[in-house]
């Protein structure tokens, strides 16, 4: 059983490190954009009642996408930061008439997320009583802490209990709304799980495939294409 949920794909970022004339979420892998690959698995779930995509004020790329005509998908104007965009989307869903229990947040530039990983997390989360959950995987690389001033190694980090965090992340509707209400102006979090941790403390990790990469640099596109071919989502 999966409880009904709505989704948010923050897409207002400009992707300055990507070195392209348009935001990376609109770059093509084969015949589809990164954004379309990222949200496709969510559309597999009948329990997903809608997907809200906050975009930047001057973004007109989304209007030419086929998904713009999907009745489950809504585009809204985002904020200046990731958190502010997500908060606007949370408020958008709050004002809707949809009857949902949870809110899922996924990066619009993670095109390789597996539907099976999402399903496993959603099914477990729906019966767990947890307040929030994130897809993640154990860190396998050796990690070093270095001195900021000169780059010399300060110490080796024990990776035994360290996990890499991906998206999607999912939260109880009430929990995410309250976390935003508690958010102070000077606080800045890299993702919503950090904000929820601050207010509520407990986030459950679910093991996901490490090929759920985030597109950051232009060279990541070839890796994403290779992964999608391996997954059978595009032809070689």
In a domain, 236, yes or no: no
* DSSP code for 233: S
* DSSP code for 52: E
Query: How far apart (Å, rounded) are the C-alpha atoms in residues 224 and 164?
Result: 18
Side-chain half-sphere of 79: how many Cα atoms within 13 Å? 12
Strand partners, 153: 146
- Position 183 scores a pLDDT of 85
- Position 187 scores a pLDDT of 77
pTM: 0.94
Side-chain half-sphere of 20: how many Cα atoms within 13 Å? 18
Transcribe 134-194 into DSSP letters: EEEEE--S-EEEE-TTT--EEEEE--TT-EEEEEEEEEEHHHHHHHHHH--TT---SSHHH
Could you give the number of structural domains in the chain?
1
Are the C-beta atoms of 66 and 137 separated by less than 8 Å?
no
- Position 15 scores a pLDDT of 56
In a domain, 221, yes or no: yes
Query: How far apart (Å, rounded) are the C-alpha atoms in residues 234 and 47?
Result: 25
- Secondary structure of residue 207 in the 3-state scheme: strand
Residues of the chain below pLDDT 50: none
Are the C-beta atoms of 9 and 53 separated by less than 8 Å?
yes
129: left (phi over 0), alpha (psi -120 to 50) or beta: left
- Position 200 scores a pLDDT of 81
- Position 14 scores a pLDDT of 63
- Position 102 scores a pLDDT of 97
- The CATH number linked to 129 is 3.90.550.10
Other beta carbons less than 10 A from residue 26's beta carbon: 20
Transcribe 72-136 into DSSP letters: TEEEEE--SSHHHHHHHHHHHHHTS----SEEEE--TT-TT--HHHHHHHHHHHHHH--SEEEEE
Query: How far apart (Å, rounded) are the C-alpha atoms in residues 74 and 204?
Result: 29
In a domain, 69, yes or no: yes
In a domain, 198, yes or no: yes
| Domain of 136, in residue numbers | 5-231
């Amino acid at each position: 059983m999966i409880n009904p949920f709505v989704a948010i794909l923050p897409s207002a970022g400009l992707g300055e490190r990507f070195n392209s004339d348009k935001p990376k979420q609109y770059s093509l892998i084969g015949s589809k954009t990164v954004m379309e690959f990222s949200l496709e698995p969510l559309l597999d779930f009948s329990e997903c009642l809608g997907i809200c995509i906050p975009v930047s004020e001057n973004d007109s790329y989304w209007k030419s996408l086929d998904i713009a005509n999907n009745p489950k998908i809504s585009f809204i104007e985002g904020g200046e930061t990731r958190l502010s965009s997500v908060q606007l989307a949370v408020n958008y869903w709050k004002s809707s008439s949809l009857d949902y229990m949870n809110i899922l947040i996924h990066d619009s530039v993670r095109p390789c997320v597996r539907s099976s990983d999402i399903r496993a997390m959603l099914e477990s989360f729906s019966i767990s009583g947890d307040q929030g959950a994130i897809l993640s995987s154990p860190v396998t690389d050796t990690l070093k802490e270095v001195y900021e001033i000169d780059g010399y190694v300060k110490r080796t980090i024990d990776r035994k209990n360290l996990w890499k965090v991906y998206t999607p992340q999912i939260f109880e509707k009430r929990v995410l709304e309250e976390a935003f209400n508690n958010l102070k102006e000077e606080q800045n979090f890299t993702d919503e799980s950090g904000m929820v941790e601050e207010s509520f403390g407990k986030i459950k990790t679910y093991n996901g495939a490490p090929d759920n990469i985030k597109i950051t640099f232009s060279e990541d596109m070839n890796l994403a294409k290779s992964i999608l071919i391996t997954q059978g989502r595009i032809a070689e």
